[in-house]
Structure 1
Amino acid sequence: MQLPLMRLDDEVEIHPARKLLGTVDAVLVAGGRDFVTAQTDALDLGFDGIAGDHHRGVSRRSGGREPWYPRGTEMRNERQLSIVAADELAIVAGRMDLSELRPEWIGANMVIGGVPGLSMLPAGTLLFFSGGVTLKVDGQNVPCRIAGRSIADHARMPDREAGALLFPKVARRLRGIVAWVEKPGRIASGEKVSVRIPEQWIYRT
């Protein structure tokens, strides 16, 4: 019997693992009835996410991002934290003709500085915070019209629905990332964060 041919590693373009260093510029929590956040001094995190936050939970209900499940299906909560970068939000604000786009308006829980292309960090990236917490990146946070309406309301855009539609168009791959708690503890504003990007490749087979 003929054995299948073995593929060699040099036939696949593999990018080695990398380490970067960033800073926690702000931490925020959604303590009200919706996803809009407010700045605070520190976040207390358990395996279920941020204490008192709107998105806290070991599980969550599926929505439009998971069309393979009936809406409302209970599933693991891999979106416990929303993390953004100020430089990327500035680009989105410019594309929306706004003077600013505050992280609170789109429900961000953390602003990290010093990491180029934050939104492009791949799934599986580990974030090690100097205070002891570890977060694991699930992937990009896809912009939606709900966040767009929040921006339109807070920025007092003359056409609320136009703002809601514009945000998903101009913020793709700039809206930050979502992550879940791998090791709980407390994250304070001003902490350092070690970003460990795993080995990467493109699956083409």
Structure 2
Amino acid sequence: MPDLFSTIETPVEIVPGRKLAAMAAALYMAASDHFETRRVEELRLGFDGIEGDFHAGATRRSGGCEPWYARGTEMRNERQLSLVAADELAIVAELMAIAEIKPEWIGANLLIEGVPHLSMLPAGSLLFFKGGVTVKVDAQNGPCRFSGRSVAEHAGMTDHEAGALLFPKAAKRLRGLVAWVEKPGVIRAGEEISVRVPEQWIYRA
């Protein structure tokens, strides 16, 4: 079969897929009425996400991140889980001139160790947990003022509104990922993860 890309003047750049080893360093879930999370030893996941969690559900209502829909439009819930990395949160904290940012403050569900530049994992990446759960990455988690205000309050910043405005700038491309449950089950703290990064196509047409 001929290679169609060889006939294109500016071919699409293709980056091969790869596998990475990681770990679920810590797990968190939120009460059904608030986005902030608390640390737990296990997460029970169904096709709707974490049982009883604030972001559980097969669908959700659109907000400011989906300007193409009227606010409140029912849509697929691709944000069942929030994944973050400690090294990235440390960078954001430094940029905000605060001591730390805890995953709980910004509603994280999984603290992932072992993946360099976690927030840059492409959409479609699969996380295979040793216990049998599979989670699929949808996209980067866009930082918002709502989370920023939580950070400012917990960190003891004098001006909460200034902190709320600073967080989206400091956390851009460092705020982690949103993902959804492809294969349900139970995740336990300290569990090993095999990450499958898909082949990527850099589209420049």
TM-score normalised per structure 1: 0.95
Task: Could you list the structure 1 runs, at least 4 aligned residues long, displaced by more than 6 angstroms after superposition.
Answer: none
Identify the range of structure 1 (12-21 vs 111-120) with the bigger mean alpha-carbon deviation: 12-21
Distance in 2 separating the partners of 1:203 and 1:87 = 30
Are residue 106 (structure 1) and residue 115 (structure 2) matched?
Answer: no
Q: In the TM superposition, what is the alpha-carbon distance from 1:72 to its structure 2 partner?
A: 0.4
Are residue 89 (structure 1) and residue 89 (structure 2) matched?
Answer: yes
What aligned pairs does 1:21-36 form with structure 2 within 5 A after superposition?
Answer: 21-36=21-36
Are residue 49 (structure 1) and residue 49 (structure 2) matched?
Answer: yes
Q: State the partner residue of 1:175.
A: 175
* Cα-to-partner distance string for 1:104-145 (whole Å, 9 max, x where unaligned): 000000100011000000000000000100000001000000
Q: In the TM superposition, what is the alpha-carbon distance from 1:34 to its structure 2 partner?
A: 1.1
The residue type equivalent to 1:67 in the other structure is P
What SS is found at the alignment partner of 2:56? coil
- Quick check: 2:13–2:203 contact (8 Å CA) kept in 1? no
What SS is found at the alignment partner of 1:8? helix
Q: In the TM superposition, what is the alpha-carbon distance from 1:204 to its structure 2 partner?
A: 1.2
Distance in 2 separating the partners of 1:141 and 1:32 = 20
Distance in 1 separating the partners of 2:160 and 2:149 = 6
What aligned pairs does 1:187-202 form with structure 2 within 5 A after superposition?
Answer: 187-202=187-202
What SS is found at the alignment partner of 2:147? helix
User: Structure 2: where are the runs of 5+ without partners?
Assistant: none
Q: Could you say if the C-alpha distance between residues 199 and 145 of structure 1 is closer, same or farther in structure 2, counting changes exceeding 3 Å?
A: same
Q: State the partner residue of 2:6.
A: 8
User: Structure 1: where are the runs of 5+ without partners?
Assistant: 1-5
| Aligned alpha-carbon RMSD (Å) | 1.2
Distance in 2 separating the partners of 1:16 and 1:74 = 36
What SS is found at the alignment partner of 2:158? coil
Distance in 1 separating the partners of 2:33 and 2:15 = 43
What is the aligned length?
200
Q: In the TM superposition, what is the alpha-carbon distance from 1:12 to its structure 2 partner?
A: 2.6
The residue type equivalent to 1:103 in the other structure is P
Distance in 2 separating the partners of 1:99 and 1:7 = 50
Q: State the partner residue of 2:119.
A: 119
Are residue 58 (structure 1) and residue 58 (structure 2) matched?
Answer: yes
Distance in 2 separating the partners of 1:102 and 1:12 = 40
